[in-house]
A and B are shown apart, each in its own frame.
Chain A
Amino acid sequence: MNQVSTVTKISAPTIASSSIDEGHRTRAMPFGNALIKLAETHPEIVGMSADLAKYTDMHIFAEAYPDRFYQMGMSEQLMAVAAGGLAKEGFVPFATTYATFASRRCYDFMSQAVAEQDASVKLIGGLPGLTTGYGPSHQATDDIAIFRAMPNMVVIDPCDAHEIEQMVPAIAEYHGPVYARILRGNVAVVLDEYGYRFELGKAALLRGGRDVLIISTGFMTMRALDSAKELQADGIDVAVLHVPTIKPLDEMAIIREAKRTGRLVVTAENHSSVGGLGEAVASCLSMNGVSAEIRRIALPDRFLAAGTLEVLQERYGITRSAMSKNIKRWL
């Protein structure tokens, strides 16, 4: 077997990128910058990281407010519980690590020291879903499912820089535990063109369409919007409902849109097919007696391969082109 010919030389950006598709503007470090701006007027905000400040855009907060940043070292469990302790004393900690560690490693600690005690901790996970080619240790394909199962938790998967910047003050304002998976570094700017404003717990219809309704979250909304434009050329009219808050789910908006008959419903997420947006939408519609033909774009229920990000995203079907191709096939 001649493996050599299939081997792609990997460069750093493809190992861990924010998955910006061609043609989009970008803004640098939206999470870190938004947190710095908010902290100016909110002394209760503090930052924490478990040795991943630099890779979650927390490092610029640490530079701006060194006395309001706690380096917790490689101790994610400690960070989760200590964040709960800071919250008990009236502070609003934003604690960052990678999404895999935030979810898998911190589960009991978030559950018992934060969620059960209704502590106002904002746990921020970098590298959501398949945004790194490092392999399963770093691919957070199950973080949404994990935190959806935890009572009291709010779970958010923002789409772009515009949304992350608006989400930061919104979750700081909300009293209670929040998990948000974020894009870092240079992040695409997409939703401002749609006059979009982030509202906690609210879905937003970004465009209407007669043939297909894509219900999407995270950066898959960017791809849904691009796919809709692409399919327009083929005479396929696609609506896009963006659902950044996966818990609590905006059931009203989902039911309202899915009830409009004659449209194929497609859910799209950068997450495992188990326990994410697709299952949440299917459950919502089924339990509310709404019958709709549903298809799902999600990562498969298995440990994904390591390799080049572009190749992996195409292989597992979450690129714009894979989305367009599948929708045409399903119609």
Chain B
Amino acid sequence: MNQHANLHNSRLEEHAYRVRHNALVMAETQGQGYIAQALGVADVLTVTYFHAMNHRPLQPDWEDRDRFLLSVGHYGIAHYSVLVAAGYLPEEELPTYAQDDSRLPMSGMTSYTPGAEMSGGSIGLGLPMAVGMGMGLKRKKSKSFIYTLMGDGELAEGPTWEAAISASNYQLDNIIAVVDFNQVQADGPSMKVMNTEPVVAKFEAFGFYVQRVDGNDLSQLVAAFDRAREHAEPKPRIIICDTKMGCGVDFLEGREKSHFIRLEADDWKRAYAALEKGAGK
């Protein structure tokens, strides 16, 4: 790795730390929440916003921006963490998360938050929305990409596959779908709730350019997003990111029931300390 890449990666590490820290601040406000997902997907969102996407945080409706669609609405906490880190929202708003009249509702909605392109939450809307926007951007001869973040549980939703068929049919090579494959959903381990494997083979069969990477490895993510953008075939792209719930806070990693976590007051202090330690601070 050359010096430039090293410097870039150390910047990304710093951003990822900030994204995780922001998520802890929001979750602490509520004493509970989707913190394990936010910590797990922090590296994916960091690479999306600080490496892959062409965007202007102070001009969220800039026409030539890449679009980011949060399909998993309850990842709002993760999305706000990166939107604050990127400068879309002021840091002071973090403690308003999920409070009345906040711009940071628990489930991400476009009318509430600058930089939120869609209202997700009703799971399975991200890829279909990307299809429509992909068609629209092609009509406008735009070079912009649409990134859509989905969860692994979401792969059980029918519309995801309707969209997959259509994205391939219409050769929507401006779609880069990203799956946070953290193996956990509301009712338990994702592959026990509904086994959607083999995911790579399925999306390949549906006509996608598929990559599967360690979603907590910044270098792998950077390379995967680069390849997704540069891939020559007129296919929609998907990056399956295997992530660890709670990544970066050791005592939350691998915790069994982690879809919605409640922590006691002292545990939040432990969490900040663990995050700092893990980041070598």
Interface stretch of the complex, out of B24-32, B115-123, B187-195, B273-281: B115-123
Residues A84 and B132 in contact, CB atoms below 8 Å apart: yes
Asked whether B134 is an interface residue with its Cβ less than 8 Å from the other chain, the reply is yes
- Is B261 interfacial (CB-CB < 8 Å)? no
Which secondary structure characterizes the binding site on chain A?
Answer: helix
Residue of A nearest to B109 (CB): A116
Assembled-state Cα–Cα distance A113/B73 (Å): 12
* Inter-chain contact B136/A109, CB cutoff 8 Å: no
The reply to whether the CB of B6 lies closer than 8 angstroms to some CB of chain A is no
Q: Which of B108-131 contact A (CB under 8 A)?
A: 109-111, 117-119, 121-122, 125, 128-131
Which of A73, A77, A86, A117 is B159 in contact with, Cβ under 8 Å?
A: A77
Whether a CB of chain A sits under 8 angstroms from the CB of B163 is yes
Chain A residues with Cβ under 8 A from B111's Cβ? 116-118
Measured CB to CB, the closest approach of chain A to B111, in angstroms, equals 7
Question: Quick one: which of B122, B158, B162 contacts A112, CB cutoff 8 A?
Answer: B122
Which chain A positions have C-beta within 8 A of B252? none
Q: Are B132 and A81 touching (Cβ within 8 A)?
A: yes
**Contacts A82-B128, A84-B129, A85-B130 hold; do A75 and B135 have CB atoms under 8 A apart?**
no
Does B135 lie within 8 Å of A70, measured CB to CB? yes
* Residue ID in chain A nearest B163 by CB atoms: A78
Given contacts A73-B165, A75-B166, A77-B159, contact A82 B121 (CB under 8 A): no
Which segment, of A87-95, A269-277, A322-330, faces chain B?
A87-95
With a cutoff of 8 Å between Cβ atoms, the chain B residues found around residue A87 in the complex are 132
Kindly identify which residue among A86, A111, A113 contacts B136, using a CB–CB cutoff of 8 Å. A86
- Chain B residue numbers with a CB within 8 Å of A118 are 111
B137 at the interface (CB under 8 A from A): yes
Name B133-169 residues within 8 Å CB distance of A: 133-137, 139-140, 158-159, 162-163, 165-166, 169
> Is residue A161 contacting chain B, with contact meaning CB distance below 8 A?
no
Given the known inter-chain contacts A109-B159, A117-B111, please indicate yes or no for A82 contacting B129, CB distance below 8 A: yes
Would you mind naming 15 contact pairs between A and B with Cβ atoms under 8 Å apart?
A75-B162, A78-B162, A85-B132, A85-B134, A87-B132, A88-B117, A88-B132, A88-B133, A89-B132, A89-B139, A89-B140, A93-B132, A109-B128, A112-B121, A113-B128
